[in-house]
Protein backbone atom coordinates (compact mmCIF):
# COMPACT_ATOMS: atom_id res chain seq x y z
CA UNK A 1 0.00 0.00 0.00
CA UNK A 2 1.35 3.41 -0.91
CA UNK A 3 2.13 5.72 1.99
CA UNK A 4 0.45 9.10 1.74
CA UNK A 5 2.23 12.45 1.77
CA UNK A 6 3.77 12.72 5.25
CA UNK A 7 3.32 16.36 6.17
CA UNK A 8 0.70 19.08 6.18
CA UNK A 9 1.51 22.49 7.66
CA UNK A 10 -1.34 24.56 9.11
CA UNK A 11 -1.18 28.06 10.59
CA UNK A 12 -3.76 28.56 13.34
CA UNK A 13 -3.99 31.18 16.09
CA UNK A 14 -0.37 32.23 15.58
CA UNK A 15 0.81 28.71 16.40
CA UNK A 16 2.28 26.44 13.77
CA UNK A 17 0.76 22.98 13.98
CA UNK A 18 2.60 20.25 12.10
CA UNK A 19 0.67 17.03 11.50
CA UNK A 20 2.56 13.90 10.44
CA UNK A 21 0.90 10.81 8.98
CA UNK A 22 2.78 7.57 9.54
CA UNK A 23 1.12 4.46 8.16
CA UNK A 24 3.23 1.62 9.53
CA UNK A 25 3.07 2.53 13.22
CA UNK A 26 -0.39 4.10 13.15
CA UNK A 27 0.38 7.35 14.88
CA UNK A 28 -0.02 11.08 14.34
CA UNK A 29 2.00 13.72 16.09
CA UNK A 30 1.41 17.42 16.47
CA UNK A 31 4.18 19.88 17.22
CA UNK A 32 3.56 23.48 18.18
CA UNK A 33 5.94 26.31 17.42
CA UNK A 34 6.20 26.92 21.15
CA UNK A 35 5.40 24.80 24.20
CA UNK A 36 1.71 25.20 24.98
CA UNK A 37 -0.41 24.29 27.95
CA UNK A 38 -3.20 21.86 27.05
CA UNK A 39 -5.51 22.00 30.06
CA UNK A 40 -8.88 20.84 28.82
CA UNK A 41 -8.43 21.33 25.09
CA UNK A 42 -10.40 19.31 22.52
CA UNK A 43 -9.05 17.33 19.63
CA UNK A 44 -11.59 17.35 16.79
CA UNK A 45 -11.09 14.55 14.35
CA UNK A 46 -13.13 14.14 11.16
CA UNK A 47 -13.67 10.50 10.29
CA UNK A 48 -14.41 9.07 6.86
CA UNK A 49 -14.94 5.37 7.58
CA UNK A 50 -15.11 2.88 10.42
CA UNK A 51 -11.33 2.70 10.31
CA UNK A 52 -11.24 5.46 12.90
CA UNK A 53 -11.74 3.53 16.10
CA UNK A 54 -10.32 2.79 19.53
CA UNK A 55 -8.34 6.03 19.81
CA UNK A 56 -6.23 7.32 22.67
CA UNK A 57 -5.14 10.95 22.80
CA UNK A 58 -1.78 11.29 24.53
CA UNK A 59 0.03 14.45 25.60
CA UNK A 60 3.75 14.49 26.37
CA UNK A 61 6.41 17.01 27.29
CA UNK A 62 8.76 15.73 24.66
CA UNK A 63 11.57 13.22 24.51
CA UNK A 64 15.17 13.03 23.42
CA UNK A 65 14.33 12.01 19.87
CA UNK A 66 11.98 14.89 19.23
CA UNK A 67 9.27 13.64 16.89
CA UNK A 68 11.12 10.75 15.31
CA UNK A 69 9.70 7.25 15.39
CA UNK A 70 8.99 6.12 18.92
CA UNK A 71 10.25 2.74 20.02
CA UNK A 72 9.71 3.29 23.73
CA UNK A 73 6.54 5.13 24.71
CA UNK A 74 7.67 5.44 28.32
CA UNK A 75 10.38 7.82 27.15
CA UNK A 76 7.66 10.36 26.32
CA UNK A 77 6.43 10.80 29.90
CA UNK A 78 2.95 10.32 28.41
CA UNK A 79 -0.32 11.48 29.96
CA UNK A 80 -3.67 10.31 28.60
CA UNK A 81 -5.92 13.23 27.66
CA UNK A 82 -8.93 11.27 26.37
CA UNK A 83 -10.04 7.95 24.92
CA UNK A 84 -12.51 7.07 22.19
CA UNK A 85 -13.30 3.33 22.39
CA UNK A 86 -15.96 3.25 19.64
CA UNK A 87 -16.06 3.46 15.86
CA UNK A 88 -16.58 6.84 14.23
CA UNK A 89 -19.28 7.31 11.63
CA UNK A 90 -18.96 8.73 8.14
CA UNK A 91 -17.84 12.38 8.29
CA UNK A 92 -18.32 12.33 12.05
CA UNK A 93 -16.56 14.98 14.14
CA UNK A 94 -15.12 13.63 17.37
CA UNK A 95 -14.79 16.27 20.08
CA UNK A 96 -12.62 14.75 22.81
CA UNK A 97 -12.17 16.78 25.98
CA UNK A 98 -9.30 16.10 28.36
CA UNK A 99 -10.79 14.90 31.63
CA UNK A 100 -8.08 16.42 33.76
CA UNK A 101 -5.26 18.96 33.64
CA UNK A 102 -2.81 18.15 30.88
CA UNK A 103 0.38 20.03 30.13
CA UNK A 104 2.59 19.26 27.19
CA UNK A 105 4.19 20.16 23.92
CA UNK A 106 3.33 17.07 21.89
CA UNK A 107 -0.15 15.70 21.15
CA UNK A 108 -0.46 12.15 19.85
CA UNK A 109 -3.45 10.44 18.25
CA UNK A 110 -2.87 6.70 18.59
CA UNK A 111 -4.72 3.49 17.81
CA UNK A 112 -3.72 -0.17 18.04
CA UNK A 113 -3.33 -1.84 14.68
CA UNK A 114 -5.25 -5.03 15.56
CA UNK A 115 -7.33 -4.81 12.37
CA UNK A 116 -4.38 -3.85 10.15
CA UNK A 117 -6.15 -0.73 8.92
CA UNK A 118 -4.60 2.65 8.14
CA UNK A 119 -5.14 5.65 10.37
CA UNK A 120 -6.78 8.44 8.38
CA UNK A 121 -7.51 11.90 9.79
CA UNK A 122 -9.09 14.57 7.63
CA UNK A 123 -8.49 17.35 10.14
CA UNK A 124 -7.20 17.64 13.70
CA UNK A 125 -7.72 20.75 15.80
CA UNK A 126 -6.16 21.23 19.24
CA UNK A 127 -7.42 23.90 21.63
CA UNK A 128 -5.39 25.20 24.53
CA UNK A 129 -3.30 28.14 25.60
CA UNK A 130 0.36 28.92 26.13
CA UNK A 131 1.48 27.89 29.57
CA UNK A 132 2.66 31.42 30.32
CA UNK A 133 -0.91 32.68 29.89
CA UNK A 134 -2.38 30.01 32.16
CA UNK A 135 -3.53 32.34 34.92
CA UNK A 136 -4.86 35.05 32.61
CA UNK A 137 -7.52 33.21 30.66
CA UNK A 138 -9.46 31.59 33.49
CA UNK A 139 -12.77 32.86 34.77
CA UNK A 140 -11.86 32.33 38.41
CA UNK A 141 -10.99 34.28 41.57
CA UNK A 142 -14.62 34.98 42.36
CA UNK A 143 -15.42 32.35 44.99
CA UNK A 144 -13.24 31.42 47.95
CA UNK A 145 -13.59 27.64 48.12
CA UNK A 146 -11.78 27.35 51.48
CA UNK A 147 -14.12 29.43 53.64
CA UNK A 148 -15.64 27.42 56.48
CA UNK A 149 -13.99 24.16 55.40
CA UNK A 150 -12.31 21.74 57.87
CA UNK A 151 -8.78 22.72 58.81
CA UNK A 152 -5.85 21.43 60.80
CA UNK A 153 -2.32 22.44 61.69
CA UNK A 154 0.67 20.82 63.30
CA UNK A 155 -0.06 22.33 66.71
CA UNK A 156 -1.99 25.14 68.44
CA UNK A 157 -0.47 27.88 70.57
CA UNK A 158 -1.87 31.06 72.14
CA UNK A 159 -5.42 30.23 71.08
CA UNK A 160 -4.57 30.36 67.39
CA UNK A 161 -6.77 27.52 66.14
CA UNK A 162 -6.52 26.55 62.46
CA UNK A 163 -10.13 27.47 61.62
CA UNK A 164 -9.31 31.13 62.28
CA UNK A 165 -7.77 31.21 58.78
CA UNK A 166 -11.03 30.32 57.02
CA UNK A 167 -13.60 32.24 59.08
CA UNK A 168 -13.92 35.09 56.58
CA UNK A 169 -12.35 37.64 58.94
CA UNK A 170 -9.45 39.40 57.21
CA UNK A 171 -8.49 41.42 60.29
CA UNK A 172 -4.71 41.14 60.62
CA UNK A 173 -4.59 42.04 64.32
CA UNK A 174 -4.04 38.91 66.38
CA UNK A 175 -5.47 40.46 69.52
CA UNK A 176 -7.96 40.82 70.96
CA UNK A 177 -9.58 37.45 70.46
CA UNK A 178 -6.80 35.52 68.70
CA UNK A 179 -8.08 36.26 65.20
CA UNK A 180 -5.26 34.37 63.45
CA UNK A 181 -3.75 30.90 63.56
CA UNK A 182 -0.67 30.21 65.67
CA UNK A 183 1.50 27.11 65.92
CA UNK A 184 4.24 26.14 68.30
CA UNK A 185 7.83 25.72 67.14
CA UNK A 186 8.57 22.81 64.81
CA UNK A 187 11.14 21.67 62.30
CA UNK A 188 8.45 21.91 59.60
CA UNK A 189 5.33 23.92 60.39
CA UNK A 190 2.16 23.37 58.37
CA UNK A 191 -1.47 24.42 58.13
CA UNK A 192 -3.99 22.64 55.89
CA UNK A 193 -7.57 22.87 54.66
CA UNK A 194 -9.79 20.07 53.37
CA UNK A 195 -11.84 21.41 50.45
CA UNK A 196 -14.17 18.41 50.67
CA UNK A 197 -13.70 17.41 47.02
CA UNK A 198 -11.08 17.56 44.33
CA UNK A 199 -10.58 20.99 42.79
CA UNK A 200 -8.26 22.46 40.23
CA UNK A 201 -6.42 25.02 42.33
CA UNK A 202 -5.61 28.34 40.72
CA UNK A 203 -4.52 30.73 43.47
CA UNK A 204 -3.95 30.91 47.22
CA UNK A 205 -4.11 34.24 49.08
CA UNK A 206 -2.69 34.69 52.57
CA UNK A 207 -3.18 37.61 54.96
CA UNK A 208 -0.15 38.19 57.20
CA UNK A 209 -0.24 39.40 60.76
CA UNK A 210 -0.12 43.17 61.15
CA UNK A 211 0.23 43.93 64.86
CA UNK A 212 3.42 41.99 65.50
CA UNK A 213 6.33 40.08 64.02
CA UNK A 214 5.31 40.02 60.34
CA UNK A 215 8.70 38.59 59.33
CA UNK A 216 7.66 35.21 60.75
CA UNK A 217 5.75 34.54 57.54
CA UNK A 218 8.60 33.53 55.27
CA UNK A 219 9.92 30.81 52.99
CA UNK A 220 6.49 29.30 52.26
CA UNK A 221 5.59 26.40 50.01
CA UNK A 222 1.98 25.85 48.96
CA UNK A 223 1.29 22.15 48.45
CA UNK A 224 -1.80 20.53 46.94
CA UNK A 225 -2.57 16.85 47.49
CA UNK A 226 -5.33 14.40 46.64
CA UNK A 227 -5.56 13.23 50.20
CA UNK A 228 -4.10 10.42 52.24
CA UNK A 229 -5.29 7.81 54.67
CA UNK A 230 -4.95 10.06 57.70
CA UNK A 231 -6.98 12.93 56.29
CA UNK A 232 -5.69 16.06 57.98
CA UNK A 233 -4.03 14.43 60.97
CA UNK A 234 -0.37 14.99 61.68
CA UNK A 235 1.80 14.01 58.76
CA UNK A 236 4.85 11.88 59.42
CA UNK A 237 5.54 10.97 55.82
CA UNK A 238 4.97 13.73 53.29
CA UNK A 239 5.36 11.32 50.38
CA UNK A 240 2.11 9.67 51.47
CA UNK A 241 0.26 12.83 50.39
CA UNK A 242 1.13 12.53 46.70
CA UNK A 243 2.08 16.22 47.00
CA UNK A 244 2.28 18.69 44.13
CA UNK A 245 3.82 22.14 44.60
CA UNK A 246 1.44 24.93 43.63
CA UNK A 247 3.66 27.91 44.44
CA UNK A 248 6.57 29.10 46.55
CA UNK A 249 7.22 32.33 48.43
CA UNK A 250 10.93 32.52 49.31
CA UNK A 251 10.87 36.00 50.90
CA UNK A 252 9.60 37.59 54.10
CA UNK A 253 6.10 39.05 54.14
CA UNK A 254 5.51 42.58 55.34
CA UNK A 255 3.15 43.84 58.02
CA UNK A 256 -0.48 43.08 57.03
CA UNK A 257 0.76 42.06 53.58
CA UNK A 258 -1.53 40.00 51.37
CA UNK A 259 0.35 37.28 49.51
CA UNK A 260 -1.29 36.28 46.25
CA UNK A 261 0.33 33.04 45.11
CA UNK A 262 -0.73 31.68 41.73
CA UNK A 263 -0.05 28.06 40.87
CA UNK A 264 2.52 28.01 38.12
CA UNK A 265 1.08 24.91 36.54
CA UNK A 266 -2.06 22.82 36.50
CA UNK A 267 -2.75 21.43 39.99
CA UNK A 268 -5.57 19.11 41.09
CA UNK A 269 -6.28 18.15 44.67
CA UNK A 270 -8.55 18.14 47.70
CA UNK A 271 -6.11 19.34 50.36
CA UNK A 272 -4.19 22.63 50.33
CA UNK A 273 -1.20 22.95 52.66
CA UNK A 274 0.75 26.04 53.71
CA UNK A 275 4.16 24.85 54.88
CA UNK A 276 7.37 26.44 56.04
CA UNK A 277 10.63 25.08 57.47
CA UNK A 278 11.19 26.37 60.97
CA UNK A 279 14.89 27.01 60.68
CA UNK A 280 14.43 30.21 62.70
CA UNK A 281 12.25 28.44 65.29
CA UNK A 282 9.28 30.75 64.77
CA UNK A 283 5.56 29.91 64.80
CA UNK A 284 3.43 29.87 61.66
CA UNK A 285 0.68 32.51 61.90
CA UNK A 286 -1.97 33.03 59.22
CA UNK A 287 -4.71 35.62 59.65
CA UNK A 288 -6.73 34.45 56.65
CA UNK A 289 -6.26 31.99 53.81
CA UNK A 290 -8.40 32.02 50.67
CA UNK A 291 -8.23 29.38 47.96
CA UNK A 292 -9.54 29.91 44.44
CA UNK A 293 -10.28 27.19 41.94
CA UNK A 294 -13.03 25.14 40.40
CA UNK A 295 -14.50 21.66 40.84
CA UNK A 296 -12.77 19.11 38.69
CA UNK A 297 -16.07 18.12 37.04
CA UNK A 298 -16.50 21.68 35.77
CA UNK A 299 -13.00 22.00 34.37
CA UNK A 300 -14.00 21.96 30.75
CA UNK A 301 -16.90 24.35 31.20
CA UNK A 302 -15.18 27.36 32.69
CA UNK A 303 -12.37 27.85 30.20
CA UNK A 304 -12.50 30.45 27.48
CA UNK A 305 -11.08 28.03 24.95
CA UNK A 306 -12.11 26.01 21.96
CA UNK A 307 -13.05 29.06 19.91
The residue ranking higher by pLDDT, 192 or 31, is 192
Q: What pLDDT score does 63 carry?
A: 59
- Predicted pLDDT at 235: 61
Residue-level pLDDT at 295: 84
- For residues 8 and 257, the model is more confident at 257
pLDDT tens sequence across 122-145: 999 998 877 654 444 444 567 899
Is pTM beyond 0.85? Reply is no
Q: What is the C-alpha separation between 146 and 198, in angstroms, rounded? A: 12
DSSP three-state, residue 237: coil
- d(C-alpha 56, C-alpha 82), whole Å: 6
Has residue 150 got a pLDDT over 70?
A: yes
Of 183, 179, 185, which is closest to residue 166 (Cα–Cα)?
Answer: 179
Tens-digit pLDDT profile for residues 72-113: 666 677 778 889 998 898 889 999 988 767 778 888 898 877
Over residues 234-239, mean pLDDT: 65
290 vs 274: CA distance, rounded Å: 11
d(CA 170, CA 207): 7
d(CA 88, CA 48): 8
Distances (CA, A) of 242 to 12, 36, 149, 159: 37, 25, 21, 31
CA pair distance 229, 232, nearest whole angstrom: 9
Average per-residue pLDDT for the chain: 75
More reliable by pLDDT, 7 or 125: 125
Chain-centroid distance of CA 9 in Å reads 30
Measured CA to CA in angstroms, residue 257 lies from 207, 210, 251 at distances of: 6, 8, 12
pLDDT of residue 271: 92
Burial (0-12, 13-18, 19+ Cβ within 10 Å), 294: buried
Query: Residue 299 has what pLDDT?
Result: 46
Q: What is the pLDDT of residue 69?
A: 63
For residue 233, the model assigns a pLDDT of 58
Binning pLDDT at 50, 70 and 90, where does residue 306 land? very low
- d(C-alpha 154, C-alpha 174), whole Å: 19
Rounded CA-CA distance 272/283 in Å is: 19
Q: Is the pLDDT of residue 158 over 70?
A: yes
Task: Tell me which residue of 69, 65, 52 sits closest to 120, measured CA to CA.
Answer: 52
| 17-59 per-position pLDDT tens digit | 333 333 233 334 444 333 333 333 344 333 334 788 899 898 8
Where does the pLDDT of residue 67 fall: very low under 50, low under 70, confident under 90, or very high at 90 and above? low
Q: Residue 297: its pLDDT value, please?
A: 60
Q: What is the mean pLDDT of residues 200-216?
A: 94
Cis status, amide bond into 176, omega within 30 of 0: yes
User: Do 121 and 45 meet the contact criterion of CB atoms below 8 Å apart?
Assistant: yes
Taking the C-alpha atoms of residue 70 and residue 117, their distance in angstroms, rounded to an integer, is 19
Contact 294, 199 (CB under 8 A): yes
Q: Which domains does the chain have, with CATH numbers?
A: 7-133 (2.60.120.260), 151-298 (2.60.120.260)
3-class DSSP state for residue 238?
Answer: helix
Amino acid sequence: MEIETPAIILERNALTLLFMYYLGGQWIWVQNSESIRLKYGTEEIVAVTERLNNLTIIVSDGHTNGLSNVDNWDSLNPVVCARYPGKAGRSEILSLTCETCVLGRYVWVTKPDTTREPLTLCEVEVYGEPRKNYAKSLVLDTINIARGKPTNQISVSAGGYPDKAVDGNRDTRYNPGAKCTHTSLHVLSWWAVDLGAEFRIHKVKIWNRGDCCPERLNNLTIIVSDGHTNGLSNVDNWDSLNPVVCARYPGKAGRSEILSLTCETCVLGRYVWVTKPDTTREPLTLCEVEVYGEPRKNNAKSLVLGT
